[in-house]
Amino acid sequence: MAVSPLPPQPEQLSLFCDGGSAVTVSEPPVMAAPSHPAARPAPARAEPATREFRHPRASHELMLQGCRVGFELRRARRRSIGFVIGPDGLAVSAPRWTGSAAIEAALREKAAWIVRKLHEQEERARRLAQARIEWGDGASVPFLGETVILVLDPRTTGVVLHTDAQALPGVPRLTLHVGLPHGAAAEQVREAVQGWLQRQARRIFEERCAHYARELGVQVRRLALSSAATRWGSASADGSVRLNWRLVHFALPVIDYVVAHELAHLRVMDHSPRFWEVVGSVVPDFRERRAVLQEALLPPME
C-alpha cells in the first residue's frame, strides 16, 4: 500500500507517558468574505491520516517513512542492535549501554526495510483472517489442492468424502460428510475433520515415500507425522522421516516435492549443489513447487 508523504513532524524516540502531550491550537483570524464568487478560496484538502503500526507492548515510537511505528524495546546482553518483525509488530533488542540516539539512528538506517516488512506482516494477517475456518456445516477446507465443503450429517458414520463428478465448473466437487449433528460445537467438528485429514496424510505420505525411495535408492525406516509451525519436514541419517500433516492441504505435486526433498537428505545431508541435483533428478521443476510452499498461507489449526 502506497504511503503518502506527511508534512514535517518532530521525529524522536520517546517513552510513552500519558498517551500524548497537549497541543495548543491558535484560532485562525476571521477574514471578510470575498465579494465575487470566483474569488472564494478553494476548500482545504484533508491531510492524509498517518499510518500507524503499534506493537502491543510498545514502549517507544518513532516516525519512519511517514508511518508512526510503536515498538517494543528490549535491553539485552548483546553487542549490536537487532530488529525482529513478527505478527505483533517491531521489537528492537539493544545492548544495555546503547543510548536512545544510537537506537534511533539504527532505526532510521533500516526504515525502508522495517516499514516494508510491517506492511507485509499486515497483509499476511489479513490473508490469515480470510483463511480462518469457521468449523461448522458449510465450511470450506482445502484438501489436495481442492476445496472440500463440510456437511454435518448425523446419519453418517465417521467422516466420509463424497465426489460429485457432475459438478459445474467453479463449483466444489468434494463434500466431506461428518457424522455430527448440525448443532455440534466447533471444537468437535475441528477434531473430527483434522483427524480425518491426518489419516489421509499418513496414507498419502506412505505411498509417495515408497515411490520416491525407489526412485532415489534410499530406505525410509520410520515415517512420522509432524505439526511443526515452521517446518514442512525433516530427515535423519538413520532413515527417519517426519512430514507435516498439513501438507495434505496442497496439491499432490507440492507434496511430492517435500517428500523428494526429505528423502534426498538420506543421500546428502546438507543443501549443497549436489543435494539439489539429487532433488532435481526426480522433481525437475522443484523450484516452482517450492515457490508454492513459500507463498502459501494455510488456515490456522485452531
Question: Across the strands, what pairs with 244?
Answer: 226
Mean pLDDT of 85-109: 91
d(CA 262, CA 236): 9
CA distances from residue 207 to 255, 258, 267 in whole angstroms, order as listed: 11, 13, 20
Domain spanning 140-295: CATH 3.90.1170.50: no
Tell me if 6 sits within 8 A of 66, measured CB to CB: yes
Q: Quick one: pLDDT at residue 12?
A: 31
Domain ranges of the chain: 51-131, 140-295
Q: What pTM, to 2 d.p., does this model score?
A: 0.65
pLDDT at 261 over 90: yes
Mean pLDDT of 83-87: 89
What digits encode the pLDDT tens for the residues 156-187? Answer: 889 899 887 666 566 678 899 999 998 899 99
Mean pLDDT of 104-112: 92
What digits encode the pLDDT tens for the residues 203-256? Answer: 999 999 999 999 999 999 999 999 887 789 999 999 999 999 999 999 999 999
Burial class of residue 62 (count of CB atoms within 10 Å of its CB; 0-12, 13-18, 19+): buried
d(CA 95, CA 81): 7
